[in-house]
Amino acid sequence: MSNFDYDLFVIGAGSGGVRAARMAAGFGARVAIAEDRYMGGTCVNVGCVPKKLYVYAAQFGKGFEDARGFGWDSNSPRFDWATLRDNKKTEIARLNGIYRKLLDGAGAQLLNGRARIIDAHTVAVGEQRYCAEKILIATGGWPYIPDFPGSEHAVTSNEIFDLEEFPKRLVIVGGGYIAVEFAGIFNGLGAHTTQLYRGSLFLRGFDEEIRAHAAREIANSGVDLRFDVNVVSISRDAAGLTVLLTDGSELQADAVLYATGRKPHLAGLGLENVRVDLNENGTIKVDTQYRSTEPSIFALGDVTGGVELTPVALAEGMSFARRNFGGLEQSVDYDFIPTAVFCQPTIGTVGFTEAEARARFGQIRLFKSSFRPMKHTLSGNNEKSFMKLIVDVATDRVVGVHMIGPDAGEIIQGIAIALRAGATKAIFDTTLGIHPTTAEEFVTMREPSTED
């Protein structure tokens, strides 16, 4: 009989932690999982799920306007922030309960409280100590606000969902997907929305043409985009917040959302008690099996600084459990991971950007299409979609697909299967399209825009 209380002790009940705990318990391991905040982690509580619900809410605003061209009288809709906010809370509470039931059903013990590592095999939750053969850290990331005059007046993506009053004037600081998505949400809900980014163009890391097209469409939708500018200070008076910018201008706001990055959520975890090395950016250093420099301690998900997507954390949790408790060797393939940015219009992407493909494959061929979606021929909306295929000339394999437009996330999910299967441009060309749809454009683009 083992001298340990548990075979596995998981710290953090987010997507990766819960998946690892459930699967390990399913293999017969004795598992405990500790969580001090909420079940389901960032995604369920202050990330993907509530954000997508708010995106739906924002799209109704534009939908009411679009409907007029189709004969609908939609001149008097009214948005109520409290209804959206409180209905969201009810849905999240339901999901929290589902996560608890999943753990109970698998036989994993849930401990409520912040876990603290005492040594390589010991974890404390409150005053109680537990011994485990393996410890898994899956505490995810946490948004942060840099220190500057008046920074205490800003909020993060954690708080923005639950503001007591709807901010009629919102300033968003940041150029990543979180900032871009919230700009679309609050603009769509009727707030005067300004997005600030210190660089020349937001969404760094995405395909350059997608970034440029997104900037044009988001600006056309009504968001006040300001690049190459940053915040100097924020002050509050009876009229609200005054935001002073580096270009000398000022903005008046009811709320300022900082979406400038996330840091690993390691505060108070007790890493100083063990030999767990960190990377330069403060994330936990792990090998390909998610083992840290302390042999009994593992880490996965956002806390390791890898690809920060919920499905990636889930896959890593599954891989970890199968290898360590199921006797199965399964590693996560990080190539051709699809992703979406739920801005308005939506971005969907999988594979290499044009710049990455040129560096990786050398000679590539590009296929592009930009058009006004059929829906907008009657709606009067001038929004345009943009689609791009990147082909490796040597093999004819499609190595990158990028899209911005309605349903981009839904469309790219299916495209990702084709890319992982190694589909060539010839296969795309011989695939019949569904007409009339936006997605059919991916199998009807025949003429390359450039060839290197």
Same domain, 93 and 122: yes
Token output for 344: 């308005």
Same domain, 254 and 272: no
Q: Which residues span the domain enclosing 85? A: 6-143+263-325
- Residue 60's contacts (CB-CB under 8 Å, 6 or more residues apart) are 77, 188
Same domain, 247 and 290: no
Same domain, 255 and 268: no
Task: Let me know if residue 192 belongs to a domain.
Answer: yes
Kindly list the catalytic residues: 435
Task: Let me know if residue 115 belongs to a domain.
Answer: yes
Structural domains of the chain, count: 3
**CA distance from start to end of the chain:** 65
Task: Let me know if residue 356 belongs to a domain.
Answer: yes
Residue 166: count of CB within 10 angstroms of its CB:
18
Same domain, 277 and 317: yes
Angular region, 103: left φ>0, alpha ψ -120 to 50, beta rest = alpha
Task: Let me know if residue 331 belongs to a domain.
Answer: no
Q: Give pLDDT tens digits along the chain (452 positions).
A: 478 999 999 999 999 999 999 999 999 999 999 999 999 999 999 999 999 999 999 999 889 989 999 999 878 789 999 999 999 999 999 999 999 999 999 999 999 999 999 999 999 999 999 999 999 999 999 999 999 999 999 999 999 999 999 999 999 999 999 999 999 999 999 999 999 999 999 999 999 999 999 999 999 999 999 999 999 999 999 999 999 999 999 999 999 999 999 999 999 999 999 999 999 999 999 999 999 999 999 999 999 999 999 999 999 999 999 999 999 988 999 999 999 999 999 999 999 999 999 999 999 999 999 999 888 889 888 899 999 999 999 999 999 999 999 999 999 999 999 999 999 999 999 999 999 999 999 999 999 986 55
Could you tell me the CATH number of the domain that includes residue 365?
3.30.390.30
Strands 385-392 and 364-371: antiparallel
Query: Model confidence over 245-286: pLDDT tens digits?
Result: 999 999 999 999 999 999 999 999 999 999 999 999 999 999
> What CA–CA distance (Å, rounded) separates 389 from 394?
15
Place of tokens 């929004």: 383
Same domain, 223 and 247: yes
What pTM was estimated for this model as a whole? 0.96
Could you tell me the CATH number of the domain that includes residue 77?
3.50.50.60
Same domain, 132 and 191: no
Task: Let me know if residue 409 belongs to a domain.
Answer: yes
Same domain, 12 and 139: yes
